[in-house]
Copies of this chain bind each other. A is one copy, B any other.
Amino acid sequence: MSRWEPNALERLQRAAMELYRERGFDETTVAEIAARAGLTERTFFRYFADKREVLFAGAGPLHELLRDKVARAPDSTAPIDAVAAALEASSAVFEERRDFARQRHALIAAHPELQERELIKLASLAATLAEALRRRGVTDPAAILAGEAGIAVFRLAFESWVHDPKRRDFSRHVRESLGALKAVTAGKVTRPAAPSTSRARGASPAGRASGRRSSG
Q: Any chain B CB within 8 A of the CB of A88?
A: no
Q: Any chain B CB within 8 A of the CB of A174?
A: no
A144 proximity list for chain B (CB < 8 A): 156
Q: Are B112 and A119 in contact (CB under 8 A)?
A: no
A131 proximity list for chain B (CB < 8 A): 216
A155 proximity list for chain B (CB < 8 A): 148
Nearest-CB residue, chain B, relative to A155 = B148
Taken together as a complex, chains A and B put the C-alpha atoms of A98 and B141 apart, in Å, by 22
Nearest-CB residue, chain B, relative to A160 = B141
Known interface pairs A119-B119, A145-B152, A148-B155; A76-B184 also in contact (CB < 8 Å): no
Q: Are A80 and B191 in contact (CB under 8 A)?
A: no
Taken together as a complex, chains A and B put the C-alpha atoms of A145 and B186 apart, in Å, by 12
How far does the Cβ of A100 sit from chain B's closest Cβ, in whole Å?
23
Known interface pairs A79-B189, A141-B156, A210-B140; A135-B184 also in contact (CB < 8 Å): no
Known interface pairs A145-B152, A149-B149, A185-B182; A191-B136 also in contact (CB < 8 Å): yes
Q: Are A80 and B184 in contact (CB under 8 A)?
A: yes
- Count of chain A residues with a beta carbon within 8 Å of a chain B beta carbon: 66
Q: Are B181 and A145 in contact (CB under 8 A)?
A: yes
Taken together as a complex, chains A and B put the C-alpha atoms of A6 and B199 apart, in Å, by 52
* Cross-interface CB contact of A140 among B140, B145, B213, cutoff 8 Å: B213
| Best-buried of A120, A140, A146, A177 by chain B (most CB within 10 Å) | A140
Known interface pairs A144-B156, A145-B184, A216-B131; A137-B201 also in contact (CB < 8 Å): no
Q: Any chain B CB within 8 A of the CB of A38?
A: no
Taken together as a complex, chains A and B put the C-alpha atoms of A14 and B160 apart, in Å, by 43
Q: List 7 A-B contacts (CB under 8 A).
A: A78-B187, A135-B216, A140-B203, A141-B177, A142-B180, A146-B184, A181-B185
**Extra pairs beyond A119-B123, A141-B176 (12, CB < 8 Å):** A76-B214, A78-B189, A81-B187, A134-B215, A136-B191, A137-B192, A139-B201, A140-B200, A141-B160, A141-B207, A141-B211, A144-B156
